[in-house]
Each structure stands twice: as C-alpha cells, then as structure tokens.
Amino acid sequence: MKRNVLLWIGLGCTYLSVAAQQIEMVTTTATERWKGQKVKVLKNDGQKADVYVYTDSLMQEVDGFGGTFNELGWDALQCLDAEERGKVMEALFAKEGINFAYGRTPIACSDYAFAYYSYDDVKDDYEMRNFNVGRDRYTLIPYIKEALKLRLDLKLWASPWTPPIWMKINEHYSLKSHGVDKLGTGHNRLDPRRATFIHTTGFNMQVGYLEAYALYFSKYIQEYRKNGVNISMVMPQNEIAWQPAWPSCTWRPEDLAIFVGKFLAPQFKKDGIDTEIWLGTVNYPNPDYVRAFLKDKDAAAAIDGIGVQWTGKQALPVIQREYPRYRYMQTENECGDGENDWTSLERSWKAVVHCFNHGVSSYMYWNMVLDETGKSGWDWAQNSLVRVNRQTREVVYTDEFYLMKHLSHFVQPGSRRLKVSAPGNMLAFRNHEGKTVVVTCNSGPQPEKRNLQIGGQRLEFELPPLSLATLVCG
C-alpha cells in the first residue's frame, strides 16, 4: 500500500502530514525567531532511536506558565500608544502569543515598584481601619485587567515582599543596609545597626501583629475582588530566606508555620475566603526548611502547594518525593543581570527542565515588561520578556520571550508531562488538545540531528546551532 504524504506550509510553520498524523516543528535562534522546520518520518524498520518519548507514561498534570505584573512594567508600557501597548499584551496573553495561563502580582511593594508602600502604614492599626489598595487602582490593577481582557480564565496569585513596617522587628521595609554592590548604606537609608540576621524572623511574632497580618491578607483579597480581580492563591512571603536592601522579610519555618496554621488559615475560614494558601516562596536549597514547616500539623493541613524560587529548586528532588500530595510551582525564573541574550535563554531552559523533571506543575517568569534599562529603584538591571525603549518607543521581544512561547503556546492547563529516555535536555507533554509536544535545545555551535521515537512513530529532524525547538505531533 502506497503511503500518502502531504506537505503544507502555513502560518510560518511547516506541517508534514502522514496519513492522519500532522506534525509541526518550529525553531528559534538568536537571529531567526519562530521559524518552521521540516520533519522526516522514518520507516519502522527496527532501527533504534536516539530518544524515546513514552506516550503512555503520564506524569504530573500541568497547571501552566506565567509571568509577573509589576509597577515598573506598567510604567514602561505607558510610553506606547494604545494600539502598540495592546500588541504587547496580546503577545503575552493571547492564544496566538505566549498564551500565559498564570499571573503573579505583589501584595503592595516589590523591588520593581516605584517606591516603598503597604496597604496600611498606620502604626498599630490592628483592625485594619486604614487598609487601602487605592494606589494599585492606578498601576497593578489596570495592568492585570488588560491581561484579563485577553484571557478571562487567567489565574492570579500573590505574595508580599514585606509586611507593613510596624509589624516588623526593625520597623523598616528592608532588613539590610547596602546597595546592589553590597557596600555602604543603600538607597533605603537603613541604619546598619537595625539590620537582621538571615536565619531569624523579621516579623514581630506578637499575637496582635499576627492577627493583624492575617486580616491584612483577607482584606487584600476582598478589596481586589471588589476591583474585579480574583486572587486564587497566596504565598505568605516572597523569598523567605533572603535579606536584600529592598522590601523583604525573613521567616524561620517554625514561625511561618504558626502564622499560616493558627492565624492566616483561620482568618480565611472566618471570612469565607476560598483562596488557596501555599508555602512559599522558598528560596532555601536545604529541604529541612520545608520539613520543619510541615511538622506543624495545622500549617501542613492549611496549604495546597509549595512554591520554590531560585536556589529553592535544589530542594525539589527531595521534597517532591517526600510530600507528593502537594502541588509544586517554580515561582520566579532567575532574573539575570539585564543581559537579555542567548545565555539567559539557556540558563532558564535548564531551570525549566530541572523543575518539571522534579514535579512542578507551573512555572513563572519574573518581569514580563521593563524599559530599556531594566533597572529597579535599587539599580539592579534585570531581564524581561519584552523591552520598551522610552525614547524611541521601540519594542524588543527577547530570547526568553521565545523560550516561554515555545512552552506555553503549546502546553496549556490540563496537559500532562510524559516520560522521555533522555530527560536532561528535553521535555515532552501530552497537551490539552491530546497532541504530543516535545521541546528540546541545541546548545552547540553546529547543526544537530535528532532521531526520535514518539509512540509508534520514528521522526528525524535537524536543529540549527544554538537553537530551541518545539515539535508537535497529533
């Protein structure tokens, strides 16, 4: 019987149809973005493939990919007219773009806010009479609503960088006094004598402050809902184990467990709030942090998942095995130093592979949009998916933008990770449409051929030098 082969070019991608099987492959290099590539279907002649994708070995369900809303990102977008701003948002959230399923937003100030602030800076306002999200109505909330116009089912989660300062032991937004160079007194003008040690708790653990802070979270969720934004999940602290010069608060695991299990969860129950609580964001590489937190039965019962960040991913292989009942998220892709080049993509790709191979169901990028400097108020230039030049109005989509698109465009909530025989440089999924998606990278300076067995079909293709590729079968 003669095999029917049909080749069709459309939408910038090459499709090869063999009988009813349709195959799409798209590659990205630093100079050629989102380019269609040919795929050769080989005969099943008993030859061994280089890599096997086991389509019947379903691993964790994927909740999705996402990025972070910050004040400085929204400010950069204001340099564009409404049409150009809309194109950027579509590139991030529309089905034709990255199609992010998740968004992260800070609870009050982050290091990419314009300045320090909380929702209640009135000292000892235990009843939160002065709680107010008014500032966010002009910055974060409009940013989020632009995304919701494009993706109504966008899931949003939030975390604070710092509690209100009157709840902290040093009564300051930061815990350490230095600049980005770690020298001298930083922009925060914190007296060095009021700095704290990293393995202590920066929160004042008095009952009144614990009660007030739980109420603070509850009011935040309620006020955002009044403004048309539903927060589906919170983590009680960004980067639990770090004390930089910008907004921050360290927590010992035993103290955080007290707050979550005995104050935050009961407050949510009292107020009828169904927002999930997760442990995070854990940036401590030793799994003992998570273990110590989960020894508290109230805290262990209160959380639905665990979020790891940066070095926290090193603990994933252990904690995911020891605590399989929880869901896992990588909460912040490493932000780089403003280089925005191919090395950033390769570093992030390795982190994505590590995290999904060790159980995460969702993966978050940090700043989606920044201006041409990429700098925060603390002068640390960081990477972003999109750069907006405030002077020329030029919009640049970085290499990491395409990394996220190679993943999220094809792998949406409800997808399942698949087992592969060579997991170090490849991820495979059965996506939400029932198709098989394979993502891989060529880090070498020469073209590289790949011979792949996907279920009962053997495929061959060539990756350009220094390229990322996504293959879709089905």
Tens of pLDDT, residue by residue over 311-347, are 999 999 999 999 999 999 999 999 999 999 999 999 9
| pLDDT score at 39 | 95
How far is Cα 61 from Cα 411, in angstroms, rounded to an integer?
Answer: 11
Q: Is 90 helix (H, G, I), strand (E, B) or coil?
A: helix
Asked if the model's pLDDT at residue 83 lies above 90, the reply is yes
The predicted model scores a pTM of: 0.93
CA angle 148, 149, 153 (to 5 degrees): 45
Asked if the model's pLDDT at residue 179 lies above 80, the reply is no
Q: What is the pLDDT of residues 235-294, one digit of tens each?
A: 999 999 998 889 999 999 999 999 999 999 999 999 999 999 999 999 999 999 999 999
Distances from the Cα of 396 to the Cα of 43, 256, 326, 386, 455, angstroms: 43, 41, 38, 6, 39
| pLDDT score at 21 | 65
How far is Cα 435 from Cα 429, in angstroms, rounded to an integer?
Answer: 8
Cβ neighbours of 208 (radius 10 Å): 11
Confidence of residue 180 (pLDDT cuts 50, 70, 90): low
Q: Contact 167/113 with Cβ under 8 angstroms?
A: no
Check residue 167 and report its DSSP letter: G
Mean pLDDT for the stretch of residues 357-380? 95
User: Is the sign of the CA dihedral 380, 384, 387, 390 positive or negative?
Assistant: negative
Q: Which residue has the higher pLDDT, 194 or 309?
A: 309
pLDDT, averaged across the chain: 92
Q: Pull the structure tokens for residue 75.
A: 């400010």
Q: What is the pLDDT of residues 447-462, one digit of tens each?
A: 999 999 998 899 999 9
Confidence of residue 40 (pLDDT cuts 50, 70, 90): very high
| Range with the poorest average pLDDT among 12-26, 166-180, 394-408, 433-447 | 12-26
Confidence of residue 177 (pLDDT cuts 50, 70, 90): confident
Confidence of residue 122 (pLDDT cuts 50, 70, 90): very high
| pLDDT score at 184 | 52
Which of 363, 290, 275, 288 has the alpha carbon at shortest distance from 326? 290
Name, in order, each residue with C-beta under 8 angstroms of 315's C-beta and a sequence gap of 6 or more: 282, 284, 285, 286, 287, 289, 290, 308
| pLDDT score at 323 | 98
